[in-house]
Structure 1
Amino acid sequence: MIQMRHITKVYKKGIHALEDINVKIGRGEMVFVAGPSGSGKTTFLKLIYAEIIATTGLIFVGGKNISSLPLKEVPYLRRQIGVVYQDFKLLYQKTVFENIAFALQVIGLPSAEVYKRTIKVLNIVELTHKKDAFPHQLSGGEQQRVAIARAIVNDPALILADEPTGNLDTDLATNIMNFFMEANRQGTTLVVATHNKENALKMGAHVIHLNSGKIVK
């Protein structure tokens, strides 16, 4: 599903975010990328989503070399991927319902199907009562739940989640992780960035340990 070969990412001012990363993640696998703040976890996810380009090395997603993917093909790649960003990236002029439904509208689903799927994920993240609210009217935890709902609404083959439960209380965080695990059992590949490797190990997932942009044992 995902393969990185000798990936290095250097940002401006010579900052090495990742250095010589070699990783294989199989289809249907659940993987946690663990490490402290600044270890390269977010960069790792952004490279898979083709949001940024590696300085050197090759990345394959679903058999495609995305290191040289033409810009016009990037949207088609992203339709197969659900992403939960740390900063949510919600559309603030749209309601909760519209934020989630938009991910389905852009791929041309009929209105009835858009409504059905959107309501389904709103139930999962326990936000049906907030469907007509705007992001600025929500708490940070509620905004995060909208971002999670948007990421899962189109049943993606791959979910990338950057600290997806960071702003949630313990019970809701457990519910969200249980949903991710169920999606994984149904065949969805799951890659989660976290600073809490103990929780990842408890879930029985494979853990990639990052520190200062390098994989460590």
Structure 2
Amino acid sequence: MSVTTRAAVLIVAFLCVVGVGVFAAVYYIGSATTQLPIVHYTASGGQVNVVLQEDAQNDSTSRPDWVTYYTQDPATKQWLHTTLFSVPANTKVNVTIYGYDGCTPLRNNYWSQVQGTIGGTVTVSQFDQHGREYVSNHTTPIVNGWSDCNVGHTFAIPELGVSVPVASPNALLSANNLCSSSPCVTQGNPYSLETFSFMSPSQTGTYRWQCFVPCGGGYLDGNGGPMQTLGWMAGEMDVVSS
């Protein structure tokens, strides 16, 4: 093969790689941000209350089998299928997550550790499908996904050093009684209820958040599909002027 031919082959290969990268960026990120609603949280007394839920499925027509987060509109209390929300700068962000998805054994127990929250802890309660609370307001710096199957996903904002394991129903409930219609409701379904707080930065801008537990079934190492797509297991927190 001549030098000219080899150069041509390399150029074509390079352009193919660039093309795939551009497609992925537009498909998974660019188009999502223009189609998804943004939930705006307004501070009261120097704090906001962000409410999320994570489900094993969703109510979309395009990818109903993808695991996903929902965000609650603070005004209407309706669950919106979006992972985009905004908070004021330099504000205490109180997060509540309803965990309806089942437990996933963590590949690395590092993700069991709570990082970047106020006090370095989360508070967890767990309920069965009859509404019985079998773990009540347990405040802890770790949700150990190796000692017991009780972590479903994570909520992490790498740029802020925030990483939180999101509790799930226990292994038995995860195997038999999970919510099957989204957005899920507490009545008749097992779930975890987890709360924690962190401070939003003083610097305005867009901060990406996502789950780091590989739960993208059918994709390489579980890291594709919903794991990397805005509106599903990845999101953006816009920090705006207060």
TM over 0.5: no
Larger strand percent: 2
Task: Identify the structure with the greater helix proportion.
Answer: 1
Greater RCO (Cα-Cα under 8 Å, separation 6 or more): 1
Structure ID, larger Rg: 2
